[in-house]
Every structure is written in structure tokens, then in C-alpha cells.
Amino acid sequence: MWETRSVQITVQLPADIAEQAEEVQRTDPEFLSRVMLYGLTRRSIYRHLRERSREQTPSEVEGRFAT
């Protein structure tokens, strides 16, 4: 699909969640990769939509919600 590469990420998590993350990293690293991809993709989409809404003029926004 696309080119991939490994990254090292350090995060601060509550202890019980950190234990779960460590377990998943040991037992199913592919799942953890998919979770990160999903989260970062959602963030990217949100940022894109937020930027688009900032670029619209107020009349464009009002026209969409007119009944």
C-alpha cells in the first residue's frame, strides 16, 4: 500500500493502561500499529476539516445550515 518505517514513541500513560500497552506490544505489535495508525489518521482528518471550516466565509457556513 504505502512505504512504512519504524518509529520509537515514548508516552506517559496511567499505570494500568501502560501495562496493557506493554502486553500488546509484546503479544500483538501489529494491532498496536493499527491502533496508532487509526488514531493518527483521525487526528489528521480532524485537523483538515477544522482548517477547511476556518477558510470558509461566514455566509458559506450560514448557507449550509439554512432551512
Confidence band, pLDDT 50/70/90 cuts, at residue 66: low
Q: Which residues of 44-62 are buried (b: 16+ CB within 10 A; e: fewer)?
A: eeeeeeeeeeeeeeeeeee
pLDDT score of 58: 67
pLDDT score of 57: 66
pLDDT score of 55: 87
pLDDT score of 2: 79
pLDDT tens-digit readout, 10-61 = 999 999 999 999 999 999 999 999 999 999 999 999 999 999 988 886 666 6
Distance separating alpha carbons of residues 1 and 3, to the nearest angstrom: 7
